[in-house]
Chain A
Amino acid sequence: MGLKGIPQQVTRLALMFLLVGVALVAARHYFIPPTFGQTGHYRGAAVGQIVGQGIKYAGRDACTECHPDIVEVHSRARHQTVACEACHGPAAAHIENPAEVKLLLPRDRSFCPRCHSYDPARPTGFPQIDPIAHNPVKACIGCHNPHTPVPPNTPASCAACHGEIARTKAASPHAVLPCTECHQTSAQHMDTPRASTPTKPATREFCGNCHATDAKSPREIPRVDLASHGGRFLCWQCHYPHDPEVR
Chain B
Amino acid sequence: MGTERRDETGRPAEPGSLDRRTFLKQCTVAGPILLVAGRVAAAAVKGTGGYEAKDHYYGMAVDVSKCIGCGRCADACKTENNVPREPVYFRTWVERYVIQLDGTTVVESPNGSIDGFPPTVSEKGILRTFFVPKLCNHCANPPCVQVCPVGATFSTPDGVVLVDKEYCIGCRYCIQACPYGARFLHPETRTAEKCTFCYHRVVRGLTPACVEICPTGARIFGELKRNSPLARFMRFSKLQVLKPHLNTEPKVYYADLDAEVR
Chain A residues packing against B (C-beta within 8 Å): 33, 35-36, 38-62, 65, 75, 79-83, 85-86, 89-90, 92-93, 95-96, 114-115, 117, 119-123, 126, 164, 167-168, 171, 243, 246-247
Contacts and interface: CB of A to CB of B under 8 A. Distances in A.
Given A95-B20, A123-B65, A48 B166 contact: no
Contacts of B80: 55-57, 90
A79 B217 CA distance: 11
Nearest to B80: A56
B168 to A, nearest CB: 10
Contacts of A83: 212-215
Interface stretch (B152-160, B177-185, B240-248): B152-160
A35 B40 contact: yes
Interface stretch (B84-92, B120-128, B136-144, B225-233): B120-128
A30 to B, nearest CB: 16
Tier of interface size on chain B: 35 or more
A85 to B, nearest CB: 6
Contacts of A82: 215
Contacts of A58: 20, 24
A167 B209 CA distance: 35
Contact of B42 (A39, A50, A85): A39
B116 interface: yes
Contacts of B124: 168, 171, 243, 246
B67 to A, nearest CB: 8
B111 interface: no
A60 B11 contact: yes
B3 to A, nearest CB: 11
Contacts of B28: 54-55, 92-93, 96
B35 A121 contact: no
Contact of B152 (A35, A42, A49, A61): A42
B60 interface: no
9 contacts: A39-B156, A39-B157, A41-B151, A45-B40, A62-B20, A85-B76, A115-B72, A121-B131, A167-B123
Interface string B198-240: 0111011011010011111100000000000000000000000
A122 B11 contact: no
Contacts of B155: 40
A171 B105 CA distance: 23
Given A50-B162, A51-B45, A81 B157 contact: no
B20 A80 contact: no
Interface string B22-48: 001101110110110001101101111
Given A62-B21, A83-B213, A50 B199 contact: yes
B98 to A, nearest CB: 7
B154 A42 contact: yes
A65 B20 contact: yes
A120 B123 contact: yes
A121 B123 contact: no
Contacts of A50: 162, 164, 196, 199-200
